[in-house]
Each structure stands twice: as C-alpha cells, then as structure tokens.
Amino acid sequence: MKISGIALPLAISCAMATCAFAQNGEDRFIDDLMSKMTLEEKIGQLNLLPSGTIQTGLGQNSGVAETIRKGELGAILSLKGASSIREVQKIAVEQTRLGIPLLFGMDVIHGYETIFPLPIAMSCSWDLEGIENAASISAAEASTDGISWVYSPMVDVAPDARWGRISEGNGEDPFLSGEIASAMVRGYQGDGTYPKGKVMACLKHYALYGAGESGLDYNTVDMSHARMLNQFMLPYRKAVEAGVGSVMTSFNLVDGVPATGSDWLVDHLLREMWKFGGFVVTDYGSIGEMVNHGIGEIQDVAVQALKAGTDMDMCAEAYVKTLKKSLEEGKITEQDIDKACRRVLKAKYRLGLFDDPYKFCREDDFKTEVYSDKNRQSARKMASESMVLLKNDNILPLEKKGAIALIGPLADTPYIIGTWAVTANYKRGYSTLKEGFERALKGKAELLYAQGCNICSDAALQEAGAFYRAMPRGDDEALLKEALEVASRADVIVCAMGEEQEMSGESSSRASLEPFDVQARLLRELKALGKPIVLLNFSGRPTVLTWESENIPAIMQVWFGGSECADAVCDVLFGDSVPCGKLTASFPRTTGQEPLYYNHLPTGRPLPEGEKSFTKFKTNYLDVRNDPLYCFGYGLSYTTFGYSDLTLSSSQMSKDGSIKAEITVTNTGNRDAWEVAQLYIHDIYASISRPVKELKGFQRIYLKAGESRRISFEVTPDMLSFYNNKEEKVLESGDFEIMVGPDSRDSSLRKAVLTLE
C-alpha cells in the first residue's frame, strides 16, 4: 500500500560536468579567441562534415580544404590515418586566420583495429572492468591515429530485437546499460584531462532512439515522460555523471519534436537538470531531417535546433548556410551562436588541441600500440566472456579428438567481427572460424569443413544484408549434398549459422527473426544424421531459436566477436575457457512477441510467468507462451551454481536508511567459473504501475568448484524510488519484493519482502 510520497529532485549534481578544470585559464583563453572571431568563423566552428573528397584526393586539394581555409569548418568525421589527419589539421592551423584546430571524429564503436565483440555481446559479459578496458584500448589505438573524438558509447535501451541497432548498445535494461555507460566513458576519457591515449567520448543517441515503433529504424517514438524517465533515460544520465564530453542527438521524435530541436530534451533535461557541461552534436544530417519530419523549412529548423541547445551540425550544413541570415532577421541572437561556439572551443581546449594540434597523430606509437598482442589478448578474453551458452545437454566442452565437422555459411568468412567496425583493417588477417579451428585442433583432431548453404535462398536479401561485405553464394542443393557427405564422416558436427554481420546495425531492421530457410533445412538434415551437434548462433540481435532449443543438444550464442572471435569460440567450445555470458536482451519464441523485455509493467489480467497453456480473458497469445525462450540474465556455464539463504538485515527500512540483502552462492559443479548474481526489486503497490521486476544491482564473482560465498547487496532508497507523472523522483512507502538469483525468471529467484516505512 502506498502510504506517503516524498519528492526527490530530478536534477543531479554532476561533479565532472561542472568540472575540475582550471576554468579561469580556459575562459580567458576562449574569451580572447572569440573576441577575434568573425561571425562566419564562429558559425564555422559549429559545422561538422564528412571527410568526403579527402579520402580520394590529397587533403590540400580536396573540396573540404577550401571550406577549412575559409574558417567554415569545426570538425571532420570518418577520416582515417594519422598522415591524412596531420595534413588536414595543418590547413586549419597554418592556413586560416586564427589557426583553430579541427576535431577529428570517428565511429569507434567496438574497437579501432583490434576489434572487440559487438557492444550487445560485451554487455553480456557484465564485466564492467573488462568493458572499461576495451574502451580504453580502443581510445589508445584511435588516439595514435589522429582521432580525438569517438562516437561512443551508444546506450539506447532497446526492448525490440527487430531493431538492428540493438547490436550497438547494451540490451534492454537501463541499470546495466547505465553502469556500462559510465565504464565506457571512463575507459575512453580517463579522468577527463585527456592525457596521452585518451579521447573525447560522444554519448548517443540522445534520446529514446531504441524505442522506435515496430523496431523499424528511424521510426516514430512516443511515450509518457514517466516511462522515458524510468525505463530509458538512466544510461544517458549515467554517462553525463561520468563526465562525457559530448552528446549526440537522435533521429527520432520526442513528444512530437525531433530530438535535435527539442529544448525540453537538450536545454532542460540534459543541461539544466543533469548539468551537462559539454557540447551537443546532431546525428548525421539530423537538422535536415527535421524538414522531413514536417517541422519547417531548413532555416527555421536550424534556428530551432540552435535555440534548443544543439551546438554542432553534423553534415546538414544548415548552420553554415542559414544562421547568418537568421541573425540578420532577428530570429536568433549573436549570444545564441556564441554559446554554441564557446562549447565547441572548450572541448578543443580541454583536449589540448590548442597546445598541440597534432597531439593525436602519433605515427610511431601507432606501429607498436595498434593491434598489439596485448590488445588482441584482451579482445579474445572479452569475446570468450561475451558468448552465452543457451543449452548444453552434456555435449560441451568438446574434446579435441576424432573428426569434427565445421559446417555453415558463417564458418569460413572473416566477417564475424560484427557490424559498425568502420576502422577495422581486414588486411591484419582477422581469422575465419575455420582458421581458428585449424589452429586449435592441429595435431589433435581432424577438421572437416563444408559451407552447407547460403545465408538464405533469397539472393537479394543476402545482398542487402551483406552491405559491402559480400559472402560467397553457391547452389543450395549442391552445398547441402556436400555438407551431408562431410558430416557423415564426422564424430561431432559444429554448425556456424545465423545472420550476416551487416544484418544488424543501422538501417537493418528485420520483420522476421526466424532462422533463414536454407539454414533451417540444413540443420534439420544434419540432425537427422543422429550425431552430436552444436549450434553456434551468430547474430547481432536476439533471434528465434525455438526449434533449435527443442532439437539441438548444445547452442552457443556467439553474437559477433570482433577480430579475435575465431580463437575465442575455440577457447569456449573446447573448454579452455568456461562460458560465463548472460543475456542482456530477451530471446523470443517467435517474432510476434516483440517488443519483449523482462522489466515490463503488469497488466490487469496477468498470467503467472512461465504458464504454458492458454487462458481465456488473460493477457496471453492464443498461439505462443508469453515468456521468452531465453530470458534476460540467463546463461549457462560448464559448472552449476546454487543460491540459498536470502536474508535481509532488516525487513523494515526508513527513507533515509538502507539495509543489506545477503545470499549464499555456491559453485555446485566441478569447474572454477564466473557467475553473475543479480538483484531485482519489485515495488508491489505504488502511485503509478511499476514493472514486475527491475534489475537494481549485480555482482560478478569467481567461485572455485565447490566454493560457497556469502555476498551482500546494499538496498538503498534510490533503488526503491521512481519518477512519477510529474517528472518528480519519488520514494513511496510500502512493500517491495527483493529478489536475488542467476537470471530474471521468477522460478530462479530467491525472494524476501522489505517494508519501506
């Protein structure tokens, strides 16, 4: 029962955002510089363009060079290579009136040339230290090659697996994503003083980009403020609290207004409430897209974006082309432009670019630091920790003996690193799975191989999903025949199947998450051979594995594992590493369940979780169970864990107090292994309906075989509070279920009730 509510402020205090910099020196420097700048030069700082012609021509002669010379450019994106960047920076520094250096931005999403697993995969490691380390290595590599600014972390909460960009974020949970957001900002930026090896991060996509209707990219988003604040905003806020230097607005609408032009979102929530002190950049061409959204002509939407507090225009050239006119017409003031310009200059100052514009061009370090053995080891470890063992009927780990058949369209392609790796360098020789198997099995077992089938029978779909990364196509009948012949000679069959790596990511929504036709057929035929069979599922999103879960004895969700994916798969498959990943996105039984997420609200006609049979007039489908096939938090190991004796230090808590929830976790199997113990809370009655459960804490612990450990979670008032319909964070008295266990299923969790007085 709700007894009373107290209001907590929405605003946060943001130590890093208001900043520990020597503000005076910085302000004086920027005041002085801005006093010398013309209006055009100030507007120029707000302009971000793609490297475009520079990539094909010499920097000096490119079309962009002329724009730089005129002082009409503040930053460039997607130019790779320290020598090109040095050359272009030289134009800005030596051939412009004031010599203001450029920022060089890049989509460093999961690695630079050492590629880490997809972000969704990394999130399944729940290893914050490992993820911070991955960001730190990515920053270190990028910062030798001219890059000062990376467009990451992407922290959009994604409840719908049809959305291709679920691959770029941390799944469906705001708490976990918030923790990862902070870890990544720390990894990229360090303490924010940008010593050698650190770069400026860019939080994206602010905000709610993961909530597009029907999982369709760029689609409409519309939801209550209570929902957005409770379910979607936390990761963005956490990145701001961690001191992220810049924020990218999203393509979608928020309350009917494109995020780029939303003063509620940018000016009010981000800057005023969260005290964000950095600069805001649009996503690619977003100001131009405001015209398509039906908001106004380009000049007017540029005014709206600037007034909302969006400082830099990525690739729409709306600011450079219209702001001067708008100023003359009195639609904006010079202060509006000054504010934005100051924020961009501040970023450059803080990065140290005014002291040394070539600070990030460290060609010698590039040779020794990029794709080093050490970095590759980290990527391999992270890849092995991010795979999720979904099923194992005593098949895994495999022994390195006999004849092993590796079959499937993902078995011998280098395109298993994952989408959105624009800086990947395939010339480094990223291994195919087959090459990894050859190394792992050399001298121990015989390796047999067959492609088995195309990705799908529809050549056009395969081509669309390839996106410049074409995979070989053959005749499906012939491929099947060959695969069955090869498999008939094997003792065990390993299938490498799933999506092409570019079938997730931007503009890669899928209306069906079911397995592709020819792959499903191949798997059925292989199963009919009656041999032990393991499915390695490659995908950038949850896919439907319902038939597989009933018919294939071992299933490993590989995701896409970065440059070291092949060796990491072998590490896990053959038992050199013990799988420890746990899902951060629910796997549906069928596509029609999407959006599917564990932290949903209860309905008025709930069905008990896990109920298998249909009940009339309850919330359920006629043709499929409600619960996911594999739930949030789920993942198996080569050992087993038991949870017992959940106790609360007190069953009552005051609003300024806290209590401890303790539980014993035991490794009940015979392999030493990592386990992720998860704390969920359910607010039973509140002034607005609250989710059936929400993750509020987790601990990743290493337990030796047979070892038991008592672990403890502090339950704080913040974990029990939520945003109400007035955007107030409130803490309401009443009863809360406290649940701890290995995953989010009711049946896995130990429970106790806590009363907040």
Question: Which residues in this chain contact ligand BGC in the complex, by CB under 6 A?
Answer: 77, 107, 151, 204, 283-284, 506
Q: Which one of 127, 283, 567, 743 is the catalytic residue?
A: 283
Q: Nearest distance from residue 141's CB to ligand BGC, in Å?
A: 18
Report the distance separating Cα 478 and Cα 463, nearest Å.
20
Q: Nearest distance from residue 423's CB to ligand BGC, in Å?
A: 12
Q: Kindly give the pairing relationship between strand 75-77 and strand 47-50.
A: parallel
Q: Nearest distance from residue 310's CB to ligand BGC, in Å?
A: 15
The nearer residue to ligand BGC, 77 or 441, going by C-beta atoms, is 77
The nearer residue to ligand BGC, 506 or 564, going by C-beta atoms, is 506
Q: Are 688 and 592 in contact (CB under 8 A)?
A: no
Task: Clarify whether 355 is annotated catalytic.
Answer: no
The nearer residue to ligand BGC, 96 or 177, going by C-beta atoms, is 177
Q: Nearest distance from residue 209's CB to ligand BGC, in Å?
A: 8
Query: What tokens appear for 9 in the block?
Result: 């402020």
Sign of CA dihedral 323, 326, 331, 332: positive
Report the distance separating Cα 196 and Cα 367, nearest Å.
16
Q: Nearest distance from residue 710's CB to ligand BGC, in Å?
A: 43
Phi, psi for 603 (deg, rounded to 5): -95, 175
Alpha carbons within 13 A on the beta-carbon side of 29: 18
Q: Nearest distance from residue 219's CB to ligand BGC, in Å?
A: 14
Report the distance separating Cα 106 and Cα 82, nearest Å.
13
Q: Nearest distance from residue 350's CB to ligand BGC, in Å?
A: 21
The nearer residue to ligand BGC, 107 or 594, going by C-beta atoms, is 107
The nearer residue to ligand BGC, 80 or 625, going by C-beta atoms, is 80
First to last CA, the chain: 11
Phi, psi for 87 (deg, rounded to 5): -65, -40
Report helix, strand or coil for 673: strand
405 CB contacts (<8 Å, ≥6 apart)?
Answer: 448, 449, 450, 486, 487, 489, 490, 492, 493, 494
CA dihedral 134, 135, 139, 141 (to 10 degrees): 20
Residue 389's region, left for phi above 0, alpha for psi from -120 to 50, else beta, is beta
Q: Kindly give the pairing relationship between strand 722-723 and strand 729-732.
A: antiparallel
Q: Nearest distance from residue 358's CB to ligand BGC, in Å?
A: 24
Sign of CA dihedral 476, 477, 481, 487: positive
Phi, psi for 96 (deg, rounded to 5): -115, 160
Report the distance separating Cα 587 and Cα 581, nearest Å.
14
Strand order of the β-sheet with 149-150 is: 279-281, 246-249, 200-206, 149-150, 103-106, 75-77, 47-50, 313-314
The nearer residue to ligand BGC, 199 or 677, going by C-beta atoms, is 199
Cβ-based burial of 56 (10 A; exposed 0-12, middle 13-18, buried ≥19): exposed
Q: Are 632 and 598 in contact (CB under 8 A)?
A: yes
Query: Which of 692, 657, 656, 662 lies closest to 677 in space, CA to CA?
Result: 662
The nearer residue to ligand BGC, 108 or 450, going by C-beta atoms, is 108
Report the distance separating Cα 355 and Cα 195, nearest Å.
13
The nearer residue to ligand BGC, 289 or 732, going by C-beta atoms, is 289
The nearer residue to ligand BGC, 78 or 599, going by C-beta atoms, is 78
Alpha carbons within 13 A on the beta-carbon side of 536: 30
The continuous run of DSSP H or E covering 400 comes out as none
Q: Nearest distance from residue 151's CB to ligand BGC, in Å?
A: 4
Report the distance separating Cα 678 and Cα 643, nearest Å.
11
Q: Are 163 and 509 in contact (CB under 8 A)?
A: yes
Q: Nearest distance from residue 107's CB to ligand BGC, in Å?
A: 5
The nearer residue to ligand BGC, 204 or 362, going by C-beta atoms, is 204
The continuous run of DSSP H or E covering 497 comes out as strand 492-498
Q: Nearest distance from residue 134's CB to ligand BGC, in Å?
A: 18
Q: What is the CA radius of gyration of the chain?
A: 26
The nearer residue to ligand BGC, 240 or 756, going by C-beta atoms, is 240
Q: Are 458 and 497 in contact (CB under 8 A)?
A: no
The nearer residue to ligand BGC, 251 or 276, going by C-beta atoms, is 251
Task: Give the 3-state DSSP-derived string for 592-605, with helices as H, strands as E and coil as C.
Answer: HHCCCCCCCCCCCC
Q: Nearest distance from residue 49's CB to ligand BGC, in Å?
A: 11
List active site positions. Answer: 283
